[in-house]
Amino acid sequence: MIYRVYSYHLIDSNTLSAINSWERDGIINIPVPDNDLHRSIDGLPFLKDIIQKAVDKCQNNDDIIIYTNSDIGLVSNEVNFPIGQFFSARKQVEKSGIYSTEDLKNIGYEHSVNCDLFGFTKEWYLSNKDNIPDFVIGSPRWDIAMLLLLNGKKINNICYHVRHDSEWKNDFSNEKHSWNRSLFKIFKEKNNLEFDNFNQCPALINYMAKNLSYDHLANPKIIIFYTPSHENLYRLQINSLQTIYGDSVIIKSIKHDTQYCLSANYHESGWRTTQINKVGSLINELDTFKENEQFIFCDADIMHFNNFLPEITALLEEYEFVAQKSFSDNNHPICSGFFAARKTPSVMLFLRTVLSELMYNDKEELYGDQYYFNMYYSMLKYSILDDKYFSPGAITGKKIESKKQIDQLIKQTPDNIKIAHASWIYGKDNKEYYLSNIIK
């Protein structure tokens, strides 16, 4: 039998929807209201007191106990929970509803070490209870310690959470959070842990990725900029990314709802303003990154065909900036539509310099971000990617405007490419036609 236990506290409509998602055969739900508990710290209940309520209900040692917060929902399809230890990290959704595993596969993980579902047998808990610090919930750190002790199997895409502000983040300096901080410090020293428990600690991130299947924490984030005219191209790219990587990468999508360039063609009215928004939005996004964090930037008109993340990650250990070839001329080798970098002071200065040049005259449609990328890239420690990061310019060296030309290009596109970037193809409909019909 499976016993799901949770703290029954501050129930709103989203939480009630999550609670109801667990109502099914084979699962006994055990809500634990505050008045059933005999101790707390400033209203925060103790984790082991809540779990004990499920232990008391179990009939057999191999009965499964699942602990979640009350606002964690379970997918609508059948879930086969293993006998033994397991865990799952939530996917964030924007509103309450019914979600399946397939739905959650289409939602990326956040850059977080959090865990939201813990499963174990009664026997495991009784054998390990004394090793679990006496944490309170509603305060950070307890979940990392629980994960390390659990040493269980990660199950993807079975639980979800409606996005909202975290109460503990708003009052993290409150004295009530010092309890868990002190306990985790002792736990860390006792277990010789070489990392601190906070989301941006590189050692913790590396440990989670290597040992607990949090692959998305180690891979570079992929940033995609697009406007309404390129919505279909963006969807093609997202689908190709999900086919290759599933949810093992974090995708940051930046959409500007105002279509300044009505024709959606480069060098035409409004194009320069779009370039300003592109570079400015990228800088704003990178302001939230930690130093040396890796990222990959993609224009909307790109399809992905093979996993290139290990190669990019290795290159960025040596260089701070790598980019696709532009195939224009030797004096302008950098393509500004596909590049990868580390957030370094020189990379940020480079991007701010490009933005400054673009903003100097926002009506100058002849020159875009790529012109200024090629003017200033020498300020970086850089490298150019090989031809597997494919652009039609490698074959044609000239603008492509007709379906006949595109049909010929599709035949000429090499096998085993890593990406196809529809640069050199004029017009968004032509770009969609090319990327929709190329299969590599």
**CATH at 50:** 3.90.550
Residue 258 shares a structural domain with residue 301: yes
* SS3 category, 224: strand
The answer to whether the CB of 252 falls within 8 A of the CB of 224 is yes
DSSP 98: -
Pairing of strands 153-154, 86-88: parallel
Sheet harboring 153-154: ordered strands across?
27-33, 2-8, 64-68, 117-121, 86-88, 153-154
Same domain, yes or no: 286 and 174: no
Query: Final residue of a domain: which of 211, 230, 257?
Result: 211
- Please check whether residue 426 is in contact with residue 393, taking contact to mean a CB–CB distance below 8 angstroms: no
| Domain of residue 309, CATH code | 3.90.550.10
Give the separation between CA 326 and CA 194, rounded to whole angstroms. Answer: 44
DSSP per-residue letters across 22-76: T-STTEEEEEEEGGG-S--BTTBPBHHHHHHHHHHH-SSTT-EEEEE-TT-EE-S
Rounded Cα distance, 40 and 439, in Å: 59
Residues 192 and 278 in one domain: no
Residue 374 and residue 408 share a domain? yes
The packing angle between helices 403-412 and 428-437, to 10°, is 30
pLDDT at residue 173 in the model: 58
- Quick one: 146 and 295 in the same domain? no
Domain boundaries, position 126 = 2-211
Provide the residue type at 346 as one letter. Answer: S
Mark whether 224 and 207 lie in a shared domain: no
**Same domain membership, residue 256 and residue 197:** no
* Domain match, 91 and 136 both: yes
Tell me, what's the pLDDT at 266? 80
Under 8 Å CB-to-CB from 56, ≥6 apart: which residues? none
Encode 372-395: b = buried (16+ Cβ within 10 Å), e = exposed: bbbbebeebebebbeeebbbbbbb
Tokens coding 306: 């093979």
In this structure, the answer to whether residues 179 and 226 fall within a common structural domain is no
Q: 388: closest CA among 368, 365, 414? A: 414
Domain final position from 156, 182, 211: 211
Domain boundary residue among 173, 192, 211? 211
> Nearest 5 degrees, angle CA 117-CA 118-CA 122?
145
Q: Are residues 377 and 267 in the same domain?
A: yes
DSSP assignment letter at 108: P
The rounded average pLDDT for each run of 10 residues, N- to C-terminus, in the chain (440 residues) is: 92 92 96 93 94 97 96 96 93 94 88 89 97 93 92 93 70 75 92 70 79 84 96 96 90 93 88 94 94 95 96 96 89 93 98 96 85 96 96 88 94 94 94 88
Q: Are residues 178 and 269 in the same domain?
A: no
Counting the structural domains of the chain, the total is 2
Give the H or E element holding residue 421: strand 419-421
Q: What pLDDT sits at residue 166?
A: 64
Q: Of 102, 98, 118, nearest to 20 (Cα)?
A: 98
Do 267 and 334 fall into the same domain?
Answer: yes
